[in-house]
A = this chain, B = another copy of it.
Amino acid sequence: MKLSTRSRYGLRAMIFIARNREQVLSSDVIAENEDVSKKYLDRILMRLREANLLRSVKGQGGGYVLARPAGEIRTDEIIAALEGSLCLVECVDDPSACEKSGDCRTRRVWSRLAVAVKASLRAISLEDLAHGEDA
């Protein structure tokens, strides 16, 4: 139940981009600033673009900008995009994933957990992270 580096690097990158609002930032610049390999970051940024959280601009002077205002992007979207899904256990979203889900007593644990995780992340916007008080 560890969070991947993808999520950690990706969220950091999103915050960095949000803090440089109007500028188009190349993956090169972001990678240098965040101290991550550019090649690896490339793939992370692509995921974020595919999830419509970033817009990309090709060619010289190109790079990435937020697809929407930071205030409208919530952390749950970002992590879901990077992890593939926020879902911790299949059967919560898809009861047919386990033939026992009908009378499964553990399922309610996973359901409650899913709600708690989602709510916790949803409560924080990218704007909060980029421009809120530090520490």
Which residues of A does B touch, CB under 8 Å? 1-4, 7-8, 11-12, 15, 35, 75, 79, 83, 86-89, 100, 103-106, 108-110, 112-113, 115-117, 119-121, 123-124, 129-130, 132, 134-135
Contacts and interface: CB of A to CB of B under 8 A. Distances in A.
Nearest to A121: B113
Contacts of A119: 116
A106 B11 contact: yes
Contacts of A7: 1
26 contacts: A1-B1, A1-B2, A1-B83, A1-B86, A1-B88, A2-B88, A3-B89, A3-B110, A11-B109, A12-B104, A12-B105, A35-B100, A103-B135, A105-B129, A105-B130, A105-B132, A108-B129, A108-B135, A112-B123, A112-B124, A113-B117, A113-B120, A116-B116, A116-B119, A116-B120, A117-B117
